Amino acid sequence: MSSSSSSSLSLSSPPPAAPWRSLFLSHLASMDPPEFTLSTLRRASSTAPRGLRDRRSSILAAPLYLPRARTCICRGLWTHLPRNPKNDAPTNPAGVWESDLLTFTTDARMDKMEELWEDGINLGLRAGRGTDPGSPTTTKVGEELWEEGLARSKGRTIVEVVAKSTEEKLKGSGGGAVVEAVFWAREHGVQWRVRGRAYVVAPDIETSPEGREVIQLLKSRMRRQRPSSASASASASSSTGDGHAHRAEAEWSFAREITAHFGNLSPVMRGSFRNPPPGRPVALPFEGEGLALGQEVTDLEDPVARANFRVVVIVPDELDQADLSNPQRPRRWIHRYVGGAGHARGQNEWETVEVWP
C-alpha cells in the first residue's frame, strides 16, 4: 500500500474507544439494577436558611452552592441503548455511532433539572440582591443591572423576566453543569466515580438553537463505528458501502433515540411521567389533567408523559476507578480525557495513571 493510501486510511479511521469502556460496561451488566449516585450543585436562593444567606453578605463572597445527591438508574451509553425485546419504539440504524457517554432518564419537573444547567438557575438569590436602600446595586453584577433596566423599560420586574426565561429554559435542551456519578459494582468490588458535564436532551433537540448546540457538542464525543472486516472489503471494492454508510448516518436521529429510550422503559415507569408534580405538597391542588400515581402508559407518543420525559447524557472528563476486591492489594486508576480541541494527542484520547488508593 502506498504511503498516501495509508495516510488516507489513518485519517478516515474512527478514534478508539475509551480504555475503561469495556470493563465499565461489563461491571454495569453485573449490577441489577445498574444504580448510581448522582451528585450535583444547587445554587442557594434567598429562601435558603438564614445562616447560609448571612455568609453571602459581602460583595466579594462567592455564590453559595449546596451539594445534592440522589440515586438514579443508568440507561446505558448514548447510542448504545440496552436491548429490550418488549420495546416497540422505532430505533436508529445500527452500527453508525458509538460513544463513551453515560445516560439516565428523568422528569423535566424534578428539582435536579435546575442543577443540570451550567450557570445554575437561581431566581431568589438574583432577585434578592441589592436590597440595601443606601446602595441599590449592592452585590449586583453588570448583567443583572442590565436585565433590571430592560425589565423596567418593559414594565416588568426582574423576577418576572428571569422566571419566564427559567421556565422556558427548563422545557428545552441544554445543561452543561458539572456532575459526578458514583457506581459501586459490588460483585467485582470496584467503585467507579465518573466526573463530567450533564446535558439534557429534550423534544426540541433537533429544532431549537440550544438543541442543535447540544447535538454538536455530543457528536464531538461520538465515534463513527468501525466497519466489520467483511463490510470494509465490500466498501473497498465498491462505492456501495460508502453510500450505505452515509445514508445510515443521515437517517440517525437524536429525536428517534429519545423515543427509543422512552420505549425501553416499562409501562409503569412511563406512567410515572404522568405523576402529579414532584415535590409539590400533597395537600395543595395542582394543574394538569390526567395526572395521577400508578398509571401505565403504552402509547409511545403519550403527549403528557413525553412532555415531561428527558434523557440526560453525561459527558465524562475523568473517571476514578478503585478496585477494592483484594483488601491486601487495593488498586486505583485515574482516567482523564485529553483529546479534542486544544490537545495535540488526537480526538477521544484518554490518559490513565495508576495512583495509590
Check residue 249 and give its pLDDT. Answer: 82
Q: Where are the alpha helices (DSSP H) in 39-171?
A: 50-54, 112-115, 123-128, 142-153, 158-171
Q: What is the pTM of this model?
A: 0.78
**Residue 69: predicted pLDDT:** 98
Radius of gyration of the CA atoms of the chain, in A: 24
Other C-beta atoms closer than 10 Å to the C-beta of 12 total: 8
Contact 274, 292 (CB under 8 A): yes
pLDDT in tens, the chain (357 residues): 444 443 333 344 667 899 999 999 999 999 999 999 999 999 886 455 555 555 555 545 566 889 999 999 999 999 999 999 999 999 999 999 999 999 999 999 999 999 999 865 443 333 333 333 333 333 333 344 344 444 544 555 544 445 447 778 889 999 999 999 999 999 999 999 999 999 999 999 999 999 999 999 999 999 998 665 444 444 444 455 566 667 778 899 999 999 999 999 999 999 999 999 999 999 999 988 899 999 999 999 999 999 999 999 999 999 999 999 999 999 999 999 998 644 344 555 899 999 999
Q: What is the 3-state secondary structure (H, E, C) of 14-50?
A: CCCCCCCHHHHHHHHHHCCCCEEEEEEEEECCCCCCH
pLDDT for res 139: 38
Per-residue pLDDT at 36: 98
Q: Cβ contacts of residue 11 below 8 Å, gap of 6+?
A: none
Question: According to the model, what pLDDT value does residue 5 have?
Answer: 40
**3-class DSSP assignment, residue 249:** helix
How many CA atoms lie less than 13 Å away from 223 in the CB half-sphere? 21
Tens-digit pLDDT profile for residues 309-335? 999 999 999 999 999 999 999 999 999
Q: How is 184-217 classified by DSSP, letter by letter?
A: EETTTTEEEEEEEEEEEE-TTTTTSHHHHHHHHH
Closest CA to 273 of 300, 298, 307, 299: 307
Torsion of CA 72, 78, 81, 87, to 10 degrees: 80
Distance CA 201, CA 306 (A): 12
Whose CA is closest to 176, among 109, 223, 216, 120? 120
Q: Is 237 exposed, middle or buried (0-12, 13-18, 19+ CB in 10 A)?
A: exposed
| Opening angle at CA 315, ends 212 and 11, nearest 5 | 75
Look at residue 50 in the predicted model and tell me its pLDDT: 55
N residues, the chain: 357
What whole-number distance in Å separates Cα of residue 144 and Cα of residue 326?
54
Task: Quote the cell numbers at residue 41.
Answer: 450543585
Instruction: Report pLDDT for 43.
Output: 87
- Spatial neighbors of 136 by CB under 8 A, at least 6 apart, are 130
Can you give the pLDDT at residue 167?
Answer: 77
